[in-house]
Amino acid sequence: MRNKLLTILAWLALAISPAITGRAANEFVPGIVWKDTGGNPINAHGGGMLMHDGVYYWYGEFKTGRTYLPDCNKSWGGTRVDLTGISCYSSTNLTDWKNEGIVLAAVPGDQTNDLYPGNVLERPKVVYNAATRQFVLWMHVDSANYAAARYGVAVSDRPAGPFKYLGSFRPDAGVWPLNVTAEDKQPSATNILARDFAAGQMARDMTVFVDDDGQAYLFYSSEENPTMHVSLLTDDYRHTTGKYARIFIGRSMEAPTVFKHGGKYYLIASACTAWAPNAARSAVAENIFGPWKELGNPCTGPDAINTFHAQSTYVLPLPGQPDRFIFMADRWKQWNLPDSRYLWLPLEFSAEGKPVLPWRERWSLAASGAR
Ligand code: DGJ
């Protein structure tokens, strides 16, 4: 009798779960309020993912409080919330996420601190360094008007933190890129590369990619955003080395995601339109420093033209499944940033080897061919 009752209760829970959560067990539903295992909306924007010892860790910008438009950003609609910190969630199935709390917190009361609430902390990405056995958190650190344009680094011995902040820096000070031309070295009012040569290059939207040989690279929007850079990181993953290249020159790309497939490097990024969505871009390269060949908008289906109202943030390779990736993106709400939503889609490859992101109302790993 007791067993029968338990079975009925379990079926009942399964049946009413979609009504409460908006999704069935193990389902991804782009754009809904995605709740954690404690019943609260997941708060991890501009996020990145790490898989360690069979557990996935989702790191993101914890956005809370009032969204406002500071005077310094009025010309381009750069709304913001005060900086609170970086959040972390853990999961073993990618759909049910446990809140691990804030792993790097804001530092109120000290205006000179990078982590002061009035500053900007965006696009956190965590990588594991096997040699130092440390988890290294990379992030875009900035002033409210995005003029500082620096990378920040923090480390931890545990994936769920807490992380110790090491400081912020400008990449590759005093070094010219691998693909520099004589013209690039000429100072002029519009030559940002030369302007920033001594102080270090600007670093805004960013991601970190770890290659099969353990070498890690930082991809970041630079030179006031029109040009992206890719920099090799030091062996401990804490800094850039000075070996870097300019890529997508003058193409104004943000929100980079990088992954490898069939021995080639792929990138999916956005154009540069503040919080407003735009058409995603994709590209492929044989050498990580380029040349990169653009492959166009990978999205297909309704609203492919604006990445289904979203902006890329990470591409997750599924462990042990070389052809399977999840594309992660943010549906920003410019005037209510904490209520921004998530859009995850399965990434496919066309017969010609181009990345493709078909629209899905809802989907699950099993139904999309997971083994
Ligand atoms: C676009 C970037 O991709 C976001 O991370 C954020 O910096 C917004 N711009 C701010 O407007």
- What is the DSSP code string of 36-50? -TTSSBP--EEEEEE
Distance separating alpha carbons of residues 177 and 241, to the nearest angstrom: 11
Closest C-alpha to 209, from 344, 50, 350, 46: 50
Residues 6+ apart with CB under 8 A from 190: none
Please tell me if the CB atom of residue 45 comes closer than 6 angstroms to any atom of ligand 1.
no
- pTM of the predicted protein model: 0.94
Structural tokens at position 122:
């965006």
pLDDT in tens, 246-274: 999 999 999 999 999 999 999 999 999 99
Residues 6+ apart with CB under 8 A from 211: 217, 260, 288
Please tell me if the CB atom of residue 205 comes closer than 6 angstroms to any atom of ligand 1.
yes
User: Can you give the pLDDT at residue 144?
Assistant: 98
pLDDT in tens, 93-133: 999 999 999 999 999 999 999 999 999 999 999 999 999 99
CA distances to 26, 45, 73, 329 from 77, rounded to whole Å, are 37, 19, 6, 21
Say how many Å lie between the CA of residue 97 and the centre of ligand 1.
25
pLDDT in tens, 315-325: 999 988 888 99
Closest ligand 1 atom to residue 76 Cα is 11
Q: Which residue puts its alpha carbon closest to atom 11 of ligand 1? A: 274
Whether the predicted pLDDT of 174 surpasses 80: yes
Q: Which residue puts its alpha carbon closest to atom 10 of ligand 1? A: 274
Q: Which residue puts its alpha carbon closest to atom 1 of ligand 1? A: 274
Say how many Å lie between the CA of residue 275 and the centre of ligand 1.
6
Residues 6+ apart with CB under 8 A from 84: 62, 63, 64, 65, 102, 105, 106, 117
User: Can you give the pLDDT at residue 366?
Assistant: 85
Please tell me if the CB atom of residue 256 comes closer than 6 angstroms to any atom of ligand 1.
no
Domains for the chain: give ranges and CATH numbers: 35-169+194-358 (2.115.10.20)
Confidence of residue 2 (pLDDT cuts 50, 70, 90): low
**Cα torsion 68, 72, 75, 78: sign:** negative
Structural tokens at position 303:
């609203």
Please tell me if the CB atom of residue 274 comes closer than 6 angstroms to any atom of ligand 1.
yes
Say how many Å lie between the CA of residue 203 and the centre of ligand 1.
12
**Cα torsion 87, 91, 97, 101: sign:** negative
Structural tokens at position 166:
């090491």
Confidence of residue 333 (pLDDT cuts 50, 70, 90): very high
Please tell me if the CB atom of residue 172 comes closer than 6 angstroms to any atom of ligand 1.
no
User: Can you give the pLDDT at residue 321?
Assistant: 87
Whether the predicted pLDDT of 4 surpasses 80: no
User: Can you give the pLDDT at residue 14?
Assistant: 46
User: Can you give the pLDDT at residue 371?
Assistant: 35
Closest C-alpha to 107, from 46, 164, 158: 164
Closest ligand 1 atom to residue 46 Cα is 5
Whether the predicted pLDDT of 155 surpasses 90: yes
Q: Which residue puts its alpha carbon closest to atom 8 of ligand 1? A: 274
pLDDT in tens, 351-365: 999 999 999 999 999
Q: Note if the bond before 171 is cis, omega within 30 degrees.
A: no
**CA–CA–CA angle 82, 83, 87 (5° rounding):** 135
User: Can you give the pLDDT at residue 323?
Assistant: 84
User: Can you give the pLDDT at residue 319?
Assistant: 84
Residue at token pair 């492959």: 295
Average of per-residue pLDDT across 124-147: 98
Closest ligand 1 atom to residue 77 Cα is 11
Say how many Å lie between the CA of residue 246 and the centre of ligand 1.
21
Confidence of residue 370 (pLDDT cuts 50, 70, 90): very low
Q: How far is C-alpha 90 from the chain's CA centre?
A: 16
Closest ligand 1 atom to residue 270 Cα is 3
Closest ligand 1 atom to residue 146 Cα is 7
Please tell me if the CB atom of residue 226 comes closer than 6 angstroms to any atom of ligand 1.
no
User: For the chain, how big is the Rg over CA atoms in Å?
Assistant: 21
Other Cβ atoms less than 10 A from the Cβ of 104: the count is 24
Q: What average pLDDT does the chain have?
A: 94
Whether the predicted pLDDT of 369 surpasses 60: no
pLDDT in tens, 190-200: 999 999 999 99
Stronger pLDDT, 9 or 292, i.e. the higher one: 292
Question: Checking DSSP bridges between strand 164-169 and strand 45-52, what pairing results, if any?
Answer: unpaired
pLDDT in tens, 178-232: 999 999 999 999 999 999 999 999 999 999 999 999 999 999 999 999 999 999 9
Please tell me if the CB atom of residue 254 comes closer than 6 angstroms to any atom of ligand 1.
yes
Stronger pLDDT, 135 or 1, i.e. the higher one: 135
Say how many Å lie between the CA of residue 273 and the centre of ligand 1.
8
User: Can you give the pLDDT at residue 322?
Assistant: 81
User: What backbone torsions phi and psi does residue 223 show, to the nearest 5 degrees?
Assistant: 50, 45
Structural tokens at position 339:
């209520």
Whether the predicted pLDDT of 25 surpasses 90: no
User: Can you give the pLDDT at residue 119?
Assistant: 98
